[in-house]
Structure 1
Amino acid sequence: MKNCLVVDDSKVIRKVARHILESLDITVSEACDGREALSQCQSGNHDVVLLDWNMPVMSGMEFLQQLTATHSSRPKVIFCTTENGLGHIKAALDAGADEYVMKPFDRDTLESKLQIVGVL
C-alpha cells in the first residue's frame, strides 16, 4: 500500500484529501505546516507528499527546498494550492515539484495527478 503525507494548515482540506486518498487505498498521514512535514519525512516512508503553498511556520516552497536539499531519494511532491498564476506553477516545478493541482480538487483530478507521478 502506498503512503501519502498531506501537508496543509487547513484541517478541512486535510480531511477531504484523506477521504479521497483512502478511497484510492493510500495510507495517509498529516502535517499542518512544512516544519512538521519535514520532520515526518525524516522519520517516515512516504511515496508522495500533497503540499499546500501558503502555511505558517514553513511554507510549502521552503519545505520543498529543504526536502530536496536533505534527501537524495525523496517522495514525489504534488503542490495542491489556490495559487494558480503561471509564475507560481513554474516556480514550484523549477524547485522540484512533480505535479501541481488547484484547489478545490476532486477525486478524479487527484487520482489523475497520482497516476502521472507514478503513485497509482
Structure 2
Amino acid sequence: LDEIAEVSRVSRKEIGRTYRFISRELGLKLLPTSPIDYVPRFCSGLTLKGEVQSRAVEILRQAGERELTSGRGPTGVAAAAIYISSILGGERRTQREVAEVAGVTEVTIRNRYKELAEKLDIEIIL
C-alpha cells in the first residue's frame, strides 16, 4: 500500500479503505502477502546473486514451517532473511542497505534476523 500511495499521491488509509471495499463487493478472498513474494525485488535492488536469493527463500520456507512469520510484517521478515543470506553467501549488505530497499527500519531487521537465526539455528559470523 505504501508504494501505491507514494506514486498515486493518495493516502495509504484511502487506498486501504478502497481495497477492502472492492474486495468485499467482488467477493474476493485474498490471501495475505508472503515474505517470499518480496525476495526477488529486494535482492534485485541490492544487486545480490541468485544463490543469495535462493538461500533467503529457503530460510523463509523453514521459518514458515515453524510459524516464525506469523504476526510479523512480511517485508521485515523478508529483509531479515535476505540480510542473513547475504552474510552466509559472502555478499554481505549492511542492515541499513537492506532496510532502505525493503522500506523498514534497521531495528526491524535486527530484531527479525536475531529471531530467525536463533530459532532456525543459523550461525552468523559478523
> What TM-score, normalized to structure 1?
0.31
Relative to its length, the structure with more strand (as a share) is 1
Relative to its length, the structure with more helix (as a share) is 2
